[in-house]
Amino acid sequence: MEHNHAIREELREPALALRELIPQVLRGYADMSKAAMGEGELSVATKELIALAIAITRECDGCLVAHARGAHRAGASRQQVAEMAGVAIMMNGGPGTVWGPRALRAFDEAAAP
For residue range 48-71, list pLDDT tens digits in order.
999 999 999 999 999 999 999 999
What is the pLDDT at residue 113?
85
Q: Do residues 56 and 92 touch, judged by C-beta distance below 8 A? A: yes
What's 63's DSSP letter?
H
CA pair distance 19, 38, nearest whole angstrom: 23
Structural domains counted in the chain: 1
pTM: 0.87
Give the type of residue at 8.
R
- Which domain CATH number covers 60? 1.20.1290.10
pLDDT of residue 8: 85
- Enclosing domain of residue 12: 2-111
Range 18-37 average pLDDT: 96
User: Residue 24: is its pLDDT beyond 80?
Assistant: yes
Q: How many CB atoms lie within 10 A of CB 70?
A: 19
Mean pLDDT computed over 64-79: 97
pLDDT above 60 (res 1):
no
Residue 46's contacts (CB-CB under 8 Å, 6 or more residues apart) are none
